[in-house]
Amino acid sequence: MSSLELLTWARGPALQAALVIFIIGMLIRVLEILLLGRKTDLTRARAGQMGPGLRTIFSRSLPVSGTWKQHLSGYLWHIGFIVVLLFYAPHIQLFKQGFNIAWPALPTSLIDIITIVTMAALVFSLSLRFTDPVRRMLSTVGDYFSWLVTFLPVATGYMAFHNVGPDYTLVLALHIMSVNLLLVVFPFTKLSHAITFLFSRWYNGANAGRKGVRV
């Protein structure tokens, strides 16, 4: 298979299959959460649930003492990843081709800087897992795999943008394939927290609120 054939396959049938797996997988994950059977709490509610649940969604996003580096690197790469995904002109063109929607793109020089910051934040996040004894002990193979499949699209996209490597078509094909891999594994790894965190945080906050615990 030539580089051009690989690129055609990666952004054609492979991307379509990855999108289907991603959508169906995430629907199953969300339905699992919503339909999960729970025992009826027969105790008397001491306070409302909605307010504490909503507060917890936001309060758990704020750094606590001693975790500002972790939160800062986390915010940088999450925001950077989304900005590059949604506001890089070639990505917008893909959305236009697939869904017939488009919006203004950011300057490529700014996207380049954001990409570098995103990669640096991801590397820093990984270094925390190696240098912090507690995080190192709690980290699993799945955590490192999730980091890798997140880092690969950013790194290969940067390489394609700067034409790094002897064959631009091959690098671009690898970039799209890394995106396909991310889509496929997303619903089945901790990466799914990007959507399910809303449910888990609300549930914990609402449960605490019902018991009268201040959150």
Return the higher-pLDDT residue of 96 and 207. Answer: 96
Nearest to 192 by CA among 140, 138, 137, 150: 150
Return the higher-pLDDT residue of 40 and 26. Answer: 26
Supply the pTM of this predicted model: 0.83
Distance between CA atoms of 4 and 10, rounded to whole angstroms?
10
Nearest to 175 by CA among 115, 98, 102: 115
Return the higher-pLDDT residue of 136 and 1. Answer: 136
- Each residue of 58-100: pLDDT tens digit? 777 776 667 788 888 889 999 999 999 999 999 999 889 888 8
User: What pLDDT shows up at residue 34?
Assistant: 81
Measured CA to CA in angstroms, residue 160 lies from 55, 102, 163, 172, 195 at distances of 42, 22, 5, 6, 29
- Each residue of 150-187: pLDDT tens digit? 999 999 999 999 988 778 999 999 999 999 999 999 99
- Each residue of 11-22: pLDDT tens digit? 899 999 999 999
- Each residue of 91-143: pLDDT tens digit? 999 889 888 899 999 999 999 999 999 999 999 999 998 988 888 899 999 99
- Assign 215 a pLDDT band (cuts: 50, 70, 90): low
Instruction: Kindly tell me the sign of the dihedral angle through the C-alpha atoms of 154, 160, 162, 164.
Output: positive
Residue 52 has pLDDT above 90, yes or no: no
Distance between CA atoms of 215 and 209, rounded to whole angstroms?
7
Residue 38 has pLDDT above 80, yes or no: no
User: What pLDDT shows up at residue 195?
Assistant: 83
Distance between CA atoms of 21 and 134, rounded to whole angstroms?
34
Place of tokens 């915010």: 75
Residue 190's contacts (CB-CB under 8 Å, 6 or more residues apart) are 142, 143, 146
User: What pLDDT shows up at residue 151?
Assistant: 96
Neighbouring CB atoms inside 10 A of 195's CB total 14
Residue 210 has pLDDT above 80, yes or no: no
User: Mean pLDDT over residues 182-202, rounded?
Assistant: 87
